[in-house]
Structure 1
Amino acid sequence: MPTPERTSLDAIVLAACDLLEKDGLAALTMHAVAHRVGVRTPSLYKRVESRNQLIQLVAEATLTEVADRLNAQNDPVQLANTLRTFGHERPAAFQLVMTPGAGTPVADAEFGAAASTSVLRVAGELAGEENALEAARLLTAWATGFISMELNGGFNLGGDVERAWEFGVTRIVAAITMTRAG
């Protein structure tokens, strides 16, 4: 097995991210990650002090990826679509950062702030700077709720979910735009 010096923190976090998607949060253990990166479990503790810290690092890496994807967007519909695409590509990571369960370790606030920058910018353009935070929260909450319902099989009344998404995102953006002060 490689020595801990040959196992980087980035490799550990990447392995943890992969395990999260493959097997879920409950299966994301220090032992499983150590095995995946090729070190013994005690060696992993030289890089990561606990499972909670490991989950926090995964959440921070996830928010960094979300920020990178969202920063490329200027259009509110594309911004929401980008978040939705991320949710479908990485559902466990999406839920970890957008709807963490009680007691689940979360990222440091700076990572959430970085992931929110684009949403705040676009929301400010739609609703005016004085309403940017409220507009960003509305757009994010609606998109997160919709995506979470999709991921959890919550739309079981039939109909076209894609059409529902397009209908909803268009209406949310229109509603936010209406709040723009003179």
Structure 2
Amino acid sequence: MPTPDRTSLDAIVDAARELLELDGLAALTMQAVALRVGVRAPSLYKRVQSRDDLIQLVAEASLTELAERLKSAQTPADLANRFRAFGHERPAAFQLIMTPAAGIPVARPEFGAAASEPVLELAAELAGPDRALEAARTLTAWAAGFVSMELNGSFRLGGDVDRAWEFGAAAIVEAIRATRSDSLSIA
């Protein structure tokens, strides 16, 4: 009679996400995850083929969580604030999905597309459907850059970083709105 499975893929991914936040990507090993879920490392290979596959699954789960958070946003400020809150609550996951280092496995495209959907919808409202993709990329790049700088402790000139966030979010939304009626050209 075969031995019963002692863990699930969801439990493995949850444990890996917890380890990522506690100890960083370098500490995310099959052995560490196995210990966390209470099995021997070889048992993990029944569910996950390699560490790279595990990292990809963590990235996909993180994007799924981000997508869920963004879907219920009611305003541009709410969407931006939800994005920022995710970065602050899950800084290692944020960096994994927004700024992965070279050679780090990334999520499959459909997970990124699902997380982008609420941003694209908002961008279409702000800039119009013809400029939705460009507007979404602009908003995402600004927000991801700001949050990444926060997480890295890069704002060292003093002042209120929350006020800077509010100012920047309002300014970028207003600039995107302005493109709806203006024709943009880069000279």
Shorter-chain TM range is over 0.9
Query: Match for residue 7 of structure 2?
Result: 7
Matched letter for residue 134 of structure 2: E
Give 1:4 shift: 6.5
4+ aligned runs moved over 2 Å, structure 1: none
Gaps of at least 5 residues in structure 2 are 183-187
Query: Match for residue 101 of structure 1?
Result: 101
Query: Match for residue 42 of structure 2?
Result: 42
3-state SS of 1:6 partner: coil
Matched letter for residue 54 of structure 1: L
Structure 2: how far apart are the matches of 1:84 and 1:4?
42
3-state SS of 2:5 partner: helix
1:96-132 CA distances to partner (integer Å, 9 max, x unpaired)?
Answer: 0011111110000000000000000000000000000
Structure 2: how far apart are the matches of 1:74 and 1:138?
19
TM-score (norm 1): 0.97
Paired residue total: 180
Structure 2: how far apart are the matches of 1:100 and 1:81?
22
Structure 2: how far apart are the matches of 1:132 and 1:74?
17
3-state SS of 2:101 partner: coil
Structure 2: how far apart are the matches of 1:172 and 1:51?
38
Give 1:76 shift: 1.0
TM-score (norm 2): 0.94
Matched letter for residue 94 of structure 1: F
1:126-157 CA distances to partner (integer Å, 9 max, x unpaired)?
Answer: 00000000000000000000000000000001
Q: 1:160 and 2:160 equivalent?
A: yes
Structure 1: how far apart are the matches of 2:181 and 2:117?
21
Residues 12, 37 of structure 1: 8 Å contact kept: yes
Query: Match for residue 65 of structure 1?
Result: 65
CA RMSD of the aligned region, Å?
1.0
Mapping of residues 140-179 of structure 1, within 5 Å: 140-179=140-179
Query: Match for residue 91 of structure 1?
Result: 91
1:148-170 CA distances to partner (integer Å, 9 max, x unpaired)?
Answer: 00000000011110111011000
Residues 6, 39 of structure 2: 8 Å contact kept: no
Gaps of at least 5 residues in structure 1 are none
